[in-house]
Amino acid sequence: MDEGTILQIGSGHALRFERHLPHPIEKVWAALTDPAQFAQWLASGEIDLRAGGRARLRHADGTSMVDGRVTAAEPPRLIEYHWATQDGDGGPVRWELFEEDGGTRLVFTHMLADPLAYLLALAGWHTILDSLAFWFAGGAPAGRPTWEQLHDGYTRRYAKITRIDDAKVRETANGIEVRFERYLNHPVEKVWAALTDPTRLAEWLAPGEVELCAGGRIHLRFENTGDALDGEILAVAAPTLLEYTWHGAGEGSVRWELSEYAIGTRLVLTHTLPSSAPRESYLAGWHTHLELLGSTLEGRPLPWPWERWQELRDYYLGLAAPR
């Protein structure tokens, strides 16, 4: 089975791939551990095959990609090391080899702590493992799936299972805080334009006007409900931060934060609301609008889907119900 799976282990998750490679175990082991060989399909670098040894990989420009420590090595069957990058410890990656009829079964596992990384890493490791197989075969076939195609497929398969799209709700002294986090396969500047350009806003949120400066006015007209937002810009730092008050259609403030992540953008939306606000309606509303944002960025703006909003409202009501 070439596709990766997500396994729940305790409170975390692991990504797991199994691949059959029609080669002896020693040959596969060498491909995983010999710098001259893994440079052909993974990255240049070196791995010290001792517990505590360094595992270093470099980008094509020579800068550091991974600088971790080996936690287990049993030639020619097991190598495990931490996928430590400049952004922090990405968790251990484990390569296990088993002899089987006609070659070797490779079992790859990556423990991850960041839920946003699950789907990115599935597409990434799928691509890397394909590259290993193609290197053994002497070349990639025509029609090889792209990273973007793989990411879209894994998103459709696992987004609901992992619930990475769900809002996080936190009680505060002044009410509640609703937080959404998304990975968008587009540059930060493109996402920023969708948040601030009135023409783009009308395609996924609401028509209106934005004075993009501290103290400026933001006015949005929600045609799906007839509500209007008249707010004030509290903070703006293009292209990474926008915060404004939320009046007319509710209370509190809305804060958008963008940062580069992998080959796209991490978006964090935080909306503070009074405790009396209809939270499930807001949760369903923002969840739906963020789905529309994704479609708009892909060049496929869609009309407001009331059925989807109702489905999500019922879903969040179910999560809040006593058990």
- The burial of 5, by beta-carbon neighbours within 10 Å (0-12 exposed, 13-18 middle, 19 or more buried), is given as middle
Phi, psi of 113 (to 5 degrees): -100, -25
Long-range contacts of 69-76 (CB under 8 A, 24+ apart): 73/49, 75/29, 75/33, 75/49, 76/25, 76/26, 76/28, 76/29
**What's the Cα-to-Cα distance from 274 to each of 229, 249, 253, 255, rounded to whole Å?**
16, 13, 10, 15
d(CA 64, CA 320): 45
Looking at residue 322, its pLDDT comes to 46
Closest CA to 58 of 31, 85, 23: 85
Length of the chain: 323
Contact 68, 81 (CB under 8 A): yes
Q: What is the DSSP track for 76-98?
A: TTEEEEEEEETTEEEEEEEEEEE
pLDDT (0 to 100) of residue 250: 55
Q: Put the strands of the sheet holding 12-21 in their side by side order.
A: 5-9, 12-21, 103-112, 88-100, 78-85, 64-74, 54-58, 44-47
CA distance 119 to 163: 12
Angle between helical axes of 25-33 and 117-137 (0-180°, round to 10)? 120
pLDDT tens digits along 68-118: 999 999 999 999 999 988 777 788 999 999 999 999 999 999 998 777 778
Q: Where is 57: in which H helix or E strand?
A: strand 54-58
Q: How far is CA 50 from CA 33, 39, 43, 278, in A?
A: 12, 20, 20, 57
What SS3 state is found at 287?
helix
How far is Cα 28 from Cα 136, in angstroms, rounded to an integer? Answer: 9
* Positions in the chain short of pLDDT 70: 1, 10-11, 159-164, 248-250, 320-323
- State the pTM of this model: 0.71
d(CA 306, CA 285): 10
Residue 129: helix, strand or coil by DSSP?
helix
